[in-house]
Structure formats: C-alpha cells, structure tokens
Amino acid sequence: MSRPGRPKGEHRSAQRAGNSINPPSRSKGEHRSAQHEGSPVSVAAPGAESADLAFMRAALAIAAEAAARGEVPVGAVVVRDGAIIGRGGNSPIAHNDPTAHAEIAALRDAGRAIGNYRLPGCTLYVTLEPCAMCAGAIMHARIARLVFAARDPKTGACGSVVDLFAEARLNHHAVVTGGVDAEASAALLGAFFAARRRTEPEASPS
C-alpha cells in the first residue's frame, strides 16, 4: 500500500535525504587509514591539492546536473593517471534504484572504460562522504584513494557515523581525504533542500 501524502513518492528515502550537511570540522583532515603506514600514496605531491580541487570541481558539476533532475546533488569521478575515466551522478529516483548513488555509477563507468571490475591505482572523488554501501563498493573496486567534500552526519561511513576505512578487519584500505571544496558541496546541497522544502512544505525534515 502506498502511503498517502507522498504522491510523488519517497523523495525523502532517496539517497542522503538528510538536511544537515555539514562541512567537516577538519577542513584538511587527511584521515589516514590504519594500515599502510608510509604508503607513498599518502604523501601529497606538489600540486596535489590543486589537482584534488580541479577533480572535485568536475564532480560538483555532475552534482549540479543531478540537482537539475530533481535528485539529491551528489557527483563523483574516478581518476587514473591524472585523467577522468569514470563519471557518475546520483540518480536513485530516476532509476527506481536505491543503489544508484554517484559513487556506484562512477565506478561502473570507470570499470567499463578500462574493461576491469577492479580499479587499482585510481582515485575516486565524490562531493559527499560515502555511505556504507558505497564504501563497500570502493573497497571491492580496490580504489587506492578516496577524496570527498562535505561530510554526511546521517549516513557517512568515513568517520561521521562509522569509519569503515579504519576497520582493520576489512581487507582493503584506501587513503581517505575529506573536506576538499566542502563548502561548495554543502552550499549545493543546502540550496537543493531549501528549494525542495519550498515546493514540498509537507515534507518536514526528518
């Protein structure tokens, strides 16, 4: 039985329906995973910060496209050797698919691009802290590094709710950097939810 009062169906159950997207308190908090101390990946090369910003801007552009489709604005890109090999925007509503998060879409796109279900040596940039599902997919893909923008205090699995990348019993650990262009991502999400509250006043914040 469908519930009355939600004729357009379950926007609130779409990805990251929370309204309280906070920029991270540690703006450059490189929160290293427990393993791989001394991994060369963890040492920022000259210009690494500006490269991170440029790729995050690409992910933010995809997030803005998602917002234009009425999806929660989250975007992701997969980068290998300095080039984007996969892109994905959040689209669970359009696809009636709870797994259609930006990270999953970007991983699939990258996998198809290189003909491999594993993406070793790749970096995934995403505009919002990944959830547990996406953290799992990132691990299965063997992503070497994860860079995200805003934190998600409701579903974030990189330290906000749980920290799966610090879980030593899981066998793959990406190096995680949070807070890259967090303010821009938080602003995009904030504007999206503010607009939705104006058009769906009955949908009170959870």
Is 37 a residue of the active site? no
Q: Identify the residue whose tokens are 């001394």.
A: 38
- Whole-angstrom Cα distance, residue 97 to residue 94? 8
131 binds Zn ion, rule: CB under 5 A: yes
Cα distances from 132 to residues 70, 101, 109, 116, 168, in angstroms, run 23, 11, 20, 23, 15
| Nearest distance in Å: CB 76, Zn ion | 9
| Nearest distance in Å: CB 132, Zn ion | 8
Closest Cα to residue 137, out of 117, 114, 159, 161? Answer: 117
Nearer to Zn ion, 36 or 108 (CB): 108
- State the catalytic residue, choosing from 10, 37, 65, 103: 103
Nearer to Zn ion, 155 or 177 (CB): 155
Look at residue 77 and give its three-state secondary structure: strand
Q: H or E segment at 135?
A: helix 132-140
Binding mask 83-122 for Zn ion (x = CB under 5 A): ------------------x---------------------
| Nearest distance in Å: CB 66, Zn ion | 13
- Whole-angstrom Cα distance, residue 24 to residue 188? 15
| Nearest distance in Å: CB 131, Zn ion | 4
Side chain identity at residue 61, one-letter code: A
Q: Please choose, out of 5-13, 70-78, 129-137, 186-194, the segment that lies near Zn ion by the rule CB under 5 A.
A: 129-137
Name the residue whose CB lies closest to Zn ion: 134
Nearer to Zn ion, 62 or 131 (CB): 131
Structure tokens at 146: 């994860």
Cα distances from 39 to residues 12, 32, 72, 142, in angstroms, run 40, 10, 35, 15
| Nearest distance in Å: CB 103, Zn ion | 6
Nearer to Zn ion, 42 or 111 (CB): 111
| Interface size with Zn ion, residues (CB under 5 A) | 4
Q: Which of 134, 143, 144, 147 binds Zn ion (CB under 5 A)?
A: 134
Buried-state track 34-45, b at ≥16 Cβ within 10 A, e below 16: eeeeeeeeeeee
Contact positions vs Zn ion (CB under 5 A):
101, 131, 133-134
